[in-house]
Chain A
Amino acid sequence: QSVLTQPPSASGTPGQRVTISCSGSYSNVGSDNVYWYQQVPGTAPKLLIYNDYRRPSGVPARFSGSKSGSSASLDISGLQSEDAADYYCAAWDARLQGYVFGSGTTVDVL
């Protein structure tokens, strides 16, 4: 059972906006940065968002992150077919003294 909770699935048509939530607690999301990963089956996870909302070089601007209290969100605006993948949130957990990942959300582009 994951420390961070995400909805198992989300979907949208091309051009739509999709939002994925990540719910944690005071010891992780509520007290430290949140990170978001995209994983296409058969490949390594790819960092999309770091430090709550920052994008690494090369990540499209349609991906954005936000946080409020112990919950965070990843928004994908202008959904594209290549966005079909699994998405994971992650954070440092001060109580466990380690990084924890979310349960993962599979995004389908209809």
Chain B
Amino acid sequence: EAKVVESGGGLVQPGGPLRLSCEGTGFMLSNYWMHWVRQAPGKGPVWVARMNEDGRRTDHADSVRGRFTISRDTARNTLYLQLNSLRAEDSALYYCVKDFVGPEESWGQGTLVTVSS
């Protein structure tokens, strides 16, 4: 069974960095588009970033472009999201999603990021 497990969330001060990880099991990241989606408490989901199968194409939402970077380590079958210059409005549950909007879509349980002094 294909599964993704996120980690790396926590409490961070405004302006600080954080790196989120998403380990895939039961499938190869290099066979799917991989995405990050976030959701603040009580709000709707917001798409954050994506990477294609061969890792050569990445896209980031306007709200995070230049601050967040999606990457991966194929040897570890792990996707990352580097979060820099964090703001209070970045506080949310961050989900890693395999094949977002596709028939084989799979979401993790999410990792919580809280930006506060």
Contact = CB atoms under 8 A, between A and B. Distances in A.
Which secondary structure characterizes the binding site on chain B?
loop
B49 to A, nearest CB: 9
Give the interface centre of A2, A39, A47, A50 by most chain B CB atoms within 10 Å.
A47
Which secondary structure characterizes the binding site on chain A?
strand
A98 interface: yes
Nearest to A37: B45
A26 interface: no
B47 A88 contact: no
Contacts of A102: 44
Nearest to B100: A99
Nearest to B47: A99
B102 A50 contact: yes
Interface string A23-63: 00000000001010101000011110010001011000000
B28 interface: no
Interface string B37-49: 1000000111100
A102 B62 CA distance: 17
Interface of A: 2, 33, 35, 37, 39, 44-47, 50, 54, 56-57, 86, 88, 90, 96-104
Interface of B: 37, 44-47, 59-62, 95, 100-103, 105, 107-110
